């Protein structure tokens, strides 16, 4: 049974790649992201709200310090999607 502290994220292959490179996930979340085969277009990943809060903070840091405008826009879009999905 899912706890009230658990958030389910629907993440595309690109979302997962961006999070692994620029989101600095906690080790458990990192393992879950890496465990999804590349052939899976959209994966459901469960994370604790505190993990998602930190992930959003790290994404914000990456967005603010990114020199590549296209990457910055992609990270910002991902940030907004996770923020909306998680209700944070």
pLDDT digits (tens, 9 = 90+) for 53-86: 999 999 999 999 999 999 999 999 999 999 999 9
Report the number of distinct structural domains present in the chain.
1
pTM greater than 0.75: yes
Please check whether residue 60 lies inside any domain of the structure.
yes
Sheet strands (E) in the chain: 6-12, 42-48
Task: State how far the Cα of 56 lies from the Cα of 31, in Å rounded to an integer.
Answer: 18
Please check whether residue 1 lies inside any domain of the structure.
no
- Here the tokens at position 28 are 């458990």
Please check whether residue 49 lies inside any domain of the structure.
yes
Please check whether residue 28 lies inside any domain of the structure.
yes
Domain containing 79: what range? Answer: 6-86
Please check whether residue 48 lies inside any domain of the structure.
yes
Please check whether residue 14 lies inside any domain of the structure.
yes
Please check whether residue 27 lies inside any domain of the structure.
yes
Task: State how far the Cα of 57 lies from the Cα of 63, in Å rounded to an integer.
Answer: 10
Please check whether residue 57 lies inside any domain of the structure.
yes
């Amino acid at each position: 049974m899912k706890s009230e502290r658990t958030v389910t994220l629907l993440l595309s292959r690109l979302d997962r790649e961006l999070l692994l490179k620029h989101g600095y996930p906690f080790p458990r979340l990192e393992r879950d992201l890496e465990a999804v085969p590349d052939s899976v277009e959209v994966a459901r990943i469960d994370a604790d709200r505190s993990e998602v809060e930190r992930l959003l903070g790290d994404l914000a840091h990456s967005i603010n310090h990114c020199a590549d405008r296209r990457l910055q826009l992609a990270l910002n879009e991902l940030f907004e999607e996770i923020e909306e999905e998680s209700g944070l």
